[in-house]
Amino acid sequence: NAGVTQTPKFQVLKTGQSMTLQCAQDMNHEYMSWYRQDPGMGLRLIHYSVGAGITDQGEVPNGYNVSRSTTEDFPLRLLSAAPSQTSVYFCASRETGSGQPQHFGDGTRLSIL
Amino acid sequence: ELKVEQNPLFLSMQEGKNYTIYCNYSTTSDRLYWYRQDPGKSLESLFVLLSNGAVKQEGRLMASLDTKARLSTLHITAAVHDLSATYFCAAREGGADGLTFGKGTHLIIQP
pLDDT at B51: 82
Which tens digit of pLDDT belongs to each residue from A15-31? 999 999 999 999 999 99
Burial group, residue A39, by CB count within 10 angstroms (0-12, 13-18, 19+) = exposed
pLDDT-above-90 percentage for chain A? 88
pLDDT at A110: 97
pLDDT at B57: 96
Predicted confidence (pLDDT) at residue A52 exceeds the cutoff of 70? yes
pLDDT at A105: 97
- How would residue A1 be classed by pLDDT, with cut points 50, 70 and 90? low
- How would residue B96 be classed by pLDDT, with cut points 50, 70 and 90? low
Which tens digit of pLDDT belongs to each residue from A86-109? 999 999 999 887 778 899 999 999
pLDDT at A37: 97
For chains A and B, what is the number of CB pairs under 8 angstroms?
50
- How would residue B6 be classed by pLDDT, with cut points 50, 70 and 90? very high
pLDDT at B74: 98
Summarize the confidence of residues A54-64 as an average pLDDT. 94
Interface of B with A in 22-61 (CB under 8 A): 31, 33, 41-45, 48, 50
| Alpha-carbon separation of residue A74 from A2, A65, B82 (angstroms) | 16, 10, 34
Burial group, residue A16, by CB count within 10 angstroms (0-12, 13-18, 19+) = exposed
Q: Which of B44, B50, B104 sits opposite A99 (nearest CB)?
A: B50
Average pLDDT, chain B: 92
- How would residue B95 be classed by pLDDT, with cut points 50, 70 and 90? low
C-alpha to C-alpha distance for B11 and B94, rounded to whole angstroms: 31
| A9: chain B residues, CB-CB within 8 Å | none
Return the residue of A nearest to B33 by Cα. A101
Find, among B10, B2, B86, the residue nearest to A45 by Cα: B2
pLDDT at A76: 98
Which tens digit of pLDDT belongs to each residue from B45-67? 999 998 888 899 999 999 999 98
